[in-house]
Amino acid sequence: MIQLQSTRGTDIRMFDYEIVKADNMEHLRLVSICFQSSFPDSFASKLGIPYLVRMHEWFLEEPDGFILFIRHEKQCVGFVSGYVGTSSASAMMQFALWAAFRSLALRPWLVFEPEVRKRRHFITRNLKKRFFVTRRVEEREKEQNAYSFSDSVGLVGIGVHREYQGKGLGSIMLRAFDQEVMLKRLSHAHLSVKRENKRAIHAYRKHGWKVLTDKAVGITMVKEYECHEEDP
């Protein structure tokens, strides 16, 4: 039980919660509902809960993937997902492709969403990869992976249910992520964030993340951890 305090100083109350590592479909359903609340405008959210469940299932199938979430009154009110290595967005898309087609068949108007236009290169590259793995696609991936985060934990997603944002739960999730990196005995973590997401950037900086690259497409941040050989 902690005292949950609004970072904007309005709401203070006792808050009973536990941090859970997702390991079954019901957990994924709870996390997906929270994802929709944290990212209401994202294309993935618009594809619906069955798609989001499938997308999150990827973390359970990957040996190095994980999702931690805050459970409060049988609901997920915040989550963080991670994976060791790069290209998680692409791998997730491959994994959940059929679920995306099924969702699109039920909601065909979504193909006109601006996000589809913005991400058309990413989408076509993945469709090509799925149906005709071309040498060019493979070469480009190899080039991208040459800039390697292969032994670094990627913070793939973090979100707090919108009714609970600004109360310190994001910080709890970031600390839980740190513990998971240290349990894996890895010394680096990385993430990407949109430039305009000032709230998230502020939270990452406060938790020791530093900007590695700052480009129009987004900011890459990294965090270093101290690894002690004698740690159990």
Q: What's the closest the beta carbon of residue 205 comes to ligand COA, in angstroms?
A: 9
User: Could you tell me which residues are beta bridge partners of residue 14?
Assistant: 3
| Closest of 19, 85, 21, 25 to residue 55, by C-alpha | 25
Restricting to residues 9-38, name those near ligand COA by CB under 6 A: 38
190 Rama sector, left if φ>0, alpha if ψ -120 to 50, beta otherwise: beta
Q: How far is CA 159 from CA 68, 69, 73, 106, 188, in A?
A: 11, 9, 18, 26, 21
Stretch that binds ligand COA, among 56-64, 114-122, 162-170, 223-231 (CB under 6 A): 162-170
Among 87, 90, 94, 171, the residue binding ligand COA under the rule CB under 6 A is 171
Restricting to residues 187-206, name those near ligand COA by CB under 6 A: 193, 197-200, 202-203, 206
Stretch that binds ligand COA, among 94-102, 111-119, 166-174, 175-183 (CB under 6 A): 166-174
> Distance between the two ends of the chain, CA-based, in angstroms?
28
* Total residues binding ligand COA (CB under 6 A): 21
Interacting residue ranges for ligand COA, rule: CB under 6 A: 7, 38-39, 158-160, 165-171, 193, 197-200, 202-203, 206
